[in-house]
């Protein structure tokens, strides 16, 4: 049993899937995970293809980087706005609409005639990102007993973590061999496939009873929602601080050949998948314990990374462990379902806005310490500080939580 009293009554009452067989539930989770795989692949593939995009549009690589920021901005804005405006839509309809926009956005990105239209299309393609994961997580959690919610969320999130291990490298390779356009056509195809799978496997549902824009907006009146989002926005900044500069840390700090970068990235991806699987199981046993433990774990691992990243073996080990810190992901998503009460869609979707804020914050602060001459390994110190701050925010949240522990 979880260590918090799950406020999932509304979600359970709203669920139209109580009578589904385990096999049917698995197929729905698979369909949702395919969407996560497509989104994860589309979000990260641009990083490996940035030089190709810059060359194609005859812009500098730093300017080409605007497309990454444009996508992230789309996620941050799109998640809460779509969650609020779609309050009166059935979840199946919303999932189909979100993934349709994602699919079309990627296909049109591949066809963009110039750099600025490409940048605008990346912003539009980012809009469904957070809302999709939020709604998909709610659907997954509503189909299983309360003590298995985090594992259901984790299975949907597997699409995202597997994308870092398989989808992004595959799409990057395709983009380098054929053209960067081919990579976005592939992502668009995955999005279209998700639409077909969700349409076929996910039963029709009804609008949630009492759903309204006003009810969704009530999520932002809850202190615990803001604190939980704060844990994600600050605590996960450490992971992005390290990950953003991991290629340079590998080649310049550990003095490894550039061919080792792919191996290091693979270790990070493996760690994310292990963390997702293990963390979702731990979260079903102790939700708050998993969140607090993950932040403490991250703090220690980041310090070890900063101290020993110059040693290749230690670099391999710590990068894997940094990836494992994603164990907190399913726990935070599930925690938001608890503290948001009836405004779960907005809270769940906003979690991914918080992750993208963490991405921007971690990369920015990591870049600062590097520019100050502290070296690439110093991103680990940034990560340790941010993770420790995430732990502080969690401690405040736990202290304010009036619900009895179980």
Q: Residue 60 has what pLDDT?
A: 74
Q: How far apart are CA 137 and CA 153, in angstroms?
A: 5
Q: Angle CA(114)–CA(70)–CA(212) in degrees, nearest 5? A: 125
H/E stretch holding 346: helix 344-371
Among residues 40, 239, 12, which one has the least CA distance to residue 159?
40
Report the Cα 164 to chain-centroid distance in Å.
11
CA distances from 247 to 43, 165, 292 (A): 18, 16, 29
pLDDT band at residue 14, thresholds of 50, 70 and 90?
A: very low
Q: Residue 7 has what pLDDT?
A: 41
Domain ranges of the chain: 9-400
pTM metric for this prediction: 0.77
Question: Which fold would CATH assign to domain 9-400?
Answer: Growth Hormone; Chain: A; (1.20.1250)
Q: Residue 24 has what pLDDT?
A: 83
The tokens 């009293």 sit on which residue?
5
Q: What is the mean pLDDT of residues 163-180?
A: 80
Q: Residue 9 has what pLDDT?
A: 41
Q: How far apart are CA 359 and CA 365, in angstroms?
A: 10
Q: Residue 34 has what pLDDT?
A: 92
* Per-residue model confidence as pLDDT tens digits over 79-102: 788 877 777 778 888 899 999 999
Instruction: Indicate if the pLDDT at residue 195 is higher than 90.
Output: yes
Instruction: Indicate if the pLDDT at residue 216 is higher than 70.
Output: no
pLDDT band at residue 299, thresholds of 50, 70 and 90?
A: very high
Which three-class secondary structure state does DSSP give residue 288?
helix
């Amino acid at each position: 049993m979880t260590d918090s009293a799950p406020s999932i009554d509304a979600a359970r009452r709203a669920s139209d899937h109580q009578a589904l067989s385990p096999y049917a539930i698995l197929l729905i989770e698979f369909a949702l995970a395919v969407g996560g795989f497509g989104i994860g692949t589309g979000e990260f593939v641009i990083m490996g293809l940035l030089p190709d995009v810059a060359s194609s549009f005859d812009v500098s690589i730093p300017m080409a980087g605007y497309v990454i920021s444009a996508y992230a901005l789309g996620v941050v804005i799109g998640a809460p706005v779509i969650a609020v405006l779609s309050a009166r839509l059935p979840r199946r309809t919303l999932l189909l609409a979100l993934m349709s926009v994602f699919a079309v956005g990627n296909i049109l990105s591949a066809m963009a005639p110039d750099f600025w239209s490409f940048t605008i299309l990346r912003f539009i393609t980012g809009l469904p990102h957070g809302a999709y994961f939020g709604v998909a997580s709610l659907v997954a959690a509503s189909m299983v007993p309360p003590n298995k919610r985090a594992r259901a969320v984790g299975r949907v999130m597997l699409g995202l973590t597997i994308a870092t291990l398989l989808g992004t490298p595959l799409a990057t390779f395709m983009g380098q061999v054929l053209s960067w356009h081919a990579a976005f056509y592939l992502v668009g195809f995955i999005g279209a496939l998700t639409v077909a799978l969700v349409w076929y496997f996910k039963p029709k549902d009804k609008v949630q009873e009492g759903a309204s824009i006003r009810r969704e907006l009530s999520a932002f009146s809850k202190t615990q929602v803001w604190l939980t989002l704060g844990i994600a926005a600050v605590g996960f900044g450490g992971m992005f601080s390290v990950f953003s500069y991991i290629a340079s840390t590998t080649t310049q700090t550990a003095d490894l050949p550039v061919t080792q970068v792919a191996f290091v990235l693979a270790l990070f991806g493996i760690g994310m998948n292990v963390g997702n699987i293990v963390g979702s199981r731990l979260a079903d046993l102790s939700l708050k314990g998993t969140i607090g433990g993950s932040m403490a774990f991250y703090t220690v691992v980041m310090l070890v990374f900063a101290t020993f990243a110059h040693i290749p073996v230690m670099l391999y080990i710590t990068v894997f462990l940094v990836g494992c810190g994603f164990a907190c992901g399913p726990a935070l998503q599930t925690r938001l379902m608890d503290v948001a009460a009836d405004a779960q869609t907005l809270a769940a979707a906003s979690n991914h806005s918080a992750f993208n804020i963490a991405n921007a914050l971690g990369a920015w602060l990591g870049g600062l310490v590097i520019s100050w001459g502290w070296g690439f390994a110093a991103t680990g110190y940034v990560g340790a500080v941010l993770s420790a701050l995430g732990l502080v925010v969690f401690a405040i949240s736990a202290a304010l939580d009036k619900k009895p522990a179980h």
